[in-house]
Amino acid sequence: MNDLELIGVGKTYPDGTVAVSDFDLAVKPGEFVAFLGPSGCGKSTTLRMIAGFEDISNGDILIKGKNVSAVPPEKRPTSMIFQNYALFPHMTVRQNIGFGLDVKGLSSGEKKAKVDRIMEMFGLSEFADRKADRLSGGQRQRIALARGLVVEPDILLLDEPLGALDANLRRVIQNELKLLQRELGITFVFVTHAQSEALGLSDRIVVMNRGRVEQIGTPHEVYASPATEFVARFIGSNAIIEGSNLSFDGDAAFVDTAFGRMHGRRSQSLAPGAAALVAIPAEAMRIQPANSSAADGENRLRGTVSMKHAVGSVGHFKVDLDGRQSVDVQTGTDNEALMRLAIGDAVIVDCPSDRVTLVARG
Ligand SMILES: Nc1ncnc2c1ncn2[C@@H]1O[C@H](COP(=O)(O)OP(=O)(O)OP(=O)(O)O)[C@@H](O)[C@H]1O
């Protein structure tokens, strides 16, 4: 049985704003699912509907097979963790964590045992009696997680919980979160607008745009096989080239572009007659001097180097294609011949067709 199911879920706010439409999703027990998309795409609204803080306008939400659409938040087997942690500043760490247990009717002994155990797990025991506002951002983040988990929810809902942390602490807590989730086996639904976070942490990603689901897939699937133009532009670093005269051969798709005929894999969105775009990941492209004797390869594009820089072991090139558009190419810095390429040099860029995806425009 699925832990969570959203069936045709939609939300229209009283002022007429359509925040979410036709959202379908099934989450298996123990899965880590991220909602990823730009600001305002409906991620938080969807999470709040799962938690019960927001009514749903259409569809149904099922938790462990039970329709919870009309169940109030405190009666749902979910816990929600907010970006600002929503701690009570003048309560101690122990009081903050125990707060959610107060409504559960436990004896004080049972409650203390549960709180002690979770404080131990999060390394908070030594701060048990300190006020929450006397702690660092990372410690407060752990209190918020501990408070969400102490009630032993079936599903933990996290709304950008790492947003307030600096980059280093964010990485540390990301790792902790992943380990914790594996250890506890609790289903996590996580909202973020940071793709690195979604790609690094989750089992599956729901990419959202303007209240709609664009693609649901593993991090590898959404990264390597974007289903739509939006996903191709939003995830990773793809060059996007306009195509026409689309044709298919099985799962392969072919188009004419301003730079010649190109081909790649056919995405789900691509139907016969659709206006097609070619999406090529920057790291899948090969760059070589135009006079290179080994200048073979699929999807060849001729251009000139317009920018070059190296960060650590990664070389970044911008290649201008006949003044019409430029593409980003990433290479390793260990190839000395490539790193000798200078701005203005003529180059050929190519990309194997199994790394190229054709998506529908719009
Ligand atoms: N209470 C409300 N009344 C009316 N419109 C709202 C309300 N809350 C959110 N919205 C609108 O619904 C849409 C989705 O908002 P939501 O907060 O779910 O997006 P989000 O993807 O979580 O964005 P962010 O990453 O900025 O938090 C936005 O257009 C937003 O302005």
Average pLDDT taken over every residue of the chain: 91
Q: How confident is the model at residue 294 (pLDDT cuts 50, 70, 90)?
A: low
Total tally of structural domains belonging to the chain: 3
Q: What is the pLDDT of residues 182-209, one digit of tens each?
A: 888 899 999 998 898 899 899 999 999 9
CA 300 – ligand 1 centroid, Å: 43
Cα 74 to middle of ligand 1, angstroms: 23
Cα(44) to ligand 1 centroid in Å equals 7
**Listed range (68-77, 81-90, 303-312) with the worst mean pLDDT:** 81-90
210 pLDDT more than 70 = yes
Q: List alpha helices for 202-283, DSSP H.
A: 219-224, 229-234
* CATH number of the domain encompassing residue 157: 3.40.50.300
Same domain for 102 and 43 = yes
Residue 323: pLDDT band (50, 70, 90) is confident
Own/partner contacts of 29-32, CB < 8 Å, gap of 24 or more, are: 29/1, 29/2, 29/3, 29/185, 29/187, 30/3, 30/185, 30/186, 30/187, 31/3, 31/187, 31/188, 31/203, 31/204, 32/178, 32/181, 32/187, 32/188, 32/190, 32/201, 32/202, 32/203, 32/204
The rounded Å distance from CA 13 to ligand 1 centre is 9
For residue 232, is it within any domain? no
Substitution candidate for ligand 1 out of 9, 13, 18, 48 with most atoms within 8 A of CB: 13
What share of the chain in percent tops pLDDT 90? 64
In a shared domain, residues 205 and 343: no
Domain containing 91: what range? 4-224
230 inside domain: no
Residues near ligand 1 (Cβ within 6 A): 13, 15, 17, 19, 37, 39-45, 193
Instruction: Give the mean pLDDT of 9-30.
Output: 97
Residues 197 and 147 in one domain: yes
Whether 89 and 154 share a structural domain: yes
**What is the ipTM, given to two decimal places?**
0.96
Q: Which of 43, 55, 213 has most ligand 1 atoms within 8 Å of its beta carbon, as the pocket-test mutant?
A: 43
pLDDT exceeds cutoff 90 at 271 = no
| pTM of the shown model | 0.89
